Chain A
Amino acid sequence: MQDKLQASYKQLEMKSKYTNMFLRWFLYFALILFALYFIFPLYVMVVTSLKTMEEIRQGTLLTWPSGLNFDSWAVAWGGRGYGAGDTFLRPYFWNSFKMVIPAVFFSTFIGAMTGYVLTKWRFKGDQWVFLFLLFGCFIPFQAILLPMARTLGVLGISNSIIGLVLVHTVYGIPFTTLFFRNYYISVPTELVKAARIDGAGFFKIFFKILLPISAPIIVVTVIWQFTQIWNDFLFGSTFSFGKAAPIQVALNNMVLSSTSVKEYNVDMASAIIAGIPTLIVYVLAGKYFIRGLTSGAVKG
């Protein structure tokens, strides 16, 4: 009887060992398959950008390029140098930076201040004020495009980088407020109370006590805002054209411009150039990127 039971235990053990091994193999197989699906477009972009048009016509999407040929990158970045009608990304790339940096700075700063007030200087109805701001995260921007275009016109800053900075700052505030408010709410209010007893005022408490411990949330917010504004197309394409356009608009124009032959290699090089800054941020600070994404990802 005892031996029999021990034997059946042995059987159970073997059975679970084999099913487990099979499951593990299947698991890794499936995960790698998915990884290939996600990698595939990036791979295709990179190899295509390194091929000549001749190679592209002869091979397939997956064919490895014959050599490291950066010609199409040079064209995408600096053009062919025949003057008018020659579109290339360099000026727009810098446009995007000129737009992103101030917009990220202002929206982050305002968000930090409002988050600070909403959690540490609570007043009657502050919940409603928060909700009032939060709803801004969700509005479809189509509902404000027309009046915004008018307003920029009236202010005389339509089709300018300043105009885009204003737009991105304003519509970033709901998100930055959300981030900072959720972060500061977990900072013990005793800290602020202690500082007030020690005689520190509103601004001193913010700059000397809260700001120094805000590094993680500042990183999250800056990355989030940077990615959102860099990747924006709707505002860029609606409120700017020609010289003031940001990179995504320029990329789209370049790809759509119907010159005689489609140059897929230049298109892909351009797409990579437009994507590289955010990809770098993602690779370097993925943890913060994901944190921002899961705590405030509501923007399309």
Chain B
Amino acid sequence: MLKWLEKNLPKIVMAPAVGLIGWFVYGFVLWTLYISFTNSKILPKYELWGVGQYVKLWGSRKWLIAVDNLLIFTALFLIFCVVIGIILAIFLDQKIRAEGVLRTIYLYPMALSFIVTGTAWKWILNPTLGIQKMFIDWGFENFTFDWLVNREMAIYTIVIAGVWQSAGFVMALFLAGLRSVEDEIVKAAKIDGANLFTVYWKILLPMMRPVFFTSFVILVHISIKSYDLIVALTQGGPGISTTMPALYMTQTAFHKSQVGLSAASAIMMFMAVAAVIIPYLYSELRRENAR
């Protein structure tokens, strides 16, 4: 008995973690999946009801707006974060004097919660006393900046705040990537007569493919899950114009008490994330095994 215990001690120590994750992650996802096939309202019901909730979901105007918003947000969030991140990383890579200070400044938003970020930007972007007033007071009398309360434009305010928060992170990833490149490659390029632009464009950035991939995965992941920022900045408004899937899911579950429908939307989000993550994990694992 004691011998058996000793031999299996490592596995016994692993058990709580595996058990917790098995139950709370995999078990719960399966439960949500099951519920999405039932006609649950306030309380879960366990009779299967088919794909009715999914049909309902994809027929819902609010959900379609949410998906639309997600696509717009993801695209812009990705492009701006990556472009700004790369520019900052390359600029900082030029033996800059106050590199440490600048890096700290670019990255500090990452330490703040989306609620804090949203609260701050909500104040800055508010049309009566925020940026708009600032420009008017400066003499641009016809300046208007009412995106926050404009149905068409409100989604872009979320992009602004999101990029502000996450661009520094992309910078950190790329800076680490650039720093890991061997000096000799840059030296060889200098001897070959490449100017700074060519060195980055033709040699270093193509080498950053894994960093692009990682940034892509993480940013898409952040955007699919984005919830707090919208709650703090627009609550999905004006109207429902800035609803996103994560917000849709919680509202449907906890305000509208449509548990089945909400589960269906959660499963859609889960599948979207899985579509990005599984290839990523697969390639990461292959890279590690290749080593």
Contacts and interface: CB of A to CB of B under 8 A. Distances in A.
Interface residues of A, number: 92
Contacts of A202: 6, 9-10, 13
A255 B232 contact: yes
Contact of A297 (B87, B108, B169): B169
Given A148-B28, A283-B104, A293 B222 contact: no
A100 interface: no
A233 B113 contact: yes
B89 to A, nearest CB: 11
A233 B116 CA distance: 10
Contacts of A57: 129
Contact of A177 (B17, B131, B224, B269): B17
A280 to B, nearest CB: 9
A99 to B, nearest CB: 14
Interface string B84-113: 100110011010100000101111111111
Contacts of B225: 140-142, 300
Interface residues of B, number: 95
B32 A146 contact: yes
A61 B115 contact: no
A289 interface: yes
Contact of A27 (B13, B96, B269): B96
B191 interface: no
B273 A140 contact: yes
Contact of B14 (A30, A114, A227): A114
B17 A31 contact: no
A39 interface: yes
B110 to A, nearest CB: 6
A275 B112 contact: yes
B123 A267 contact: yes
A252 B123 contact: no
A140 B119 contact: no
A37 B124 CA distance: 13
Contact of B35 (A56, A146, A290): A146
B71 interface: no
A233 B231 contact: yes
Given A117-B13, A145-B249, 12 more contacts: A45-B120, A61-B133, A111-B17, A129-B18, A140-B225, A146-B35, A147-B27, A233-B231, A238-B254, A251-B116, A286-B104, A289-B110
27 contacts: A27-B91, A37-B164, A38-B164, A39-B105, A60-B133, A113-B17, A121-B10, A127-B285, A135-B277, A138-B281, A143-B266, A144-B24, A230-B113, A231-B113, A233-B113, A233-B231, A233-B232, A252-B119, A267-B123, A278-B112, A279-B108, A279-B112, A282-B108, A289-B111, A297-B169, A300-B226, A300-B227
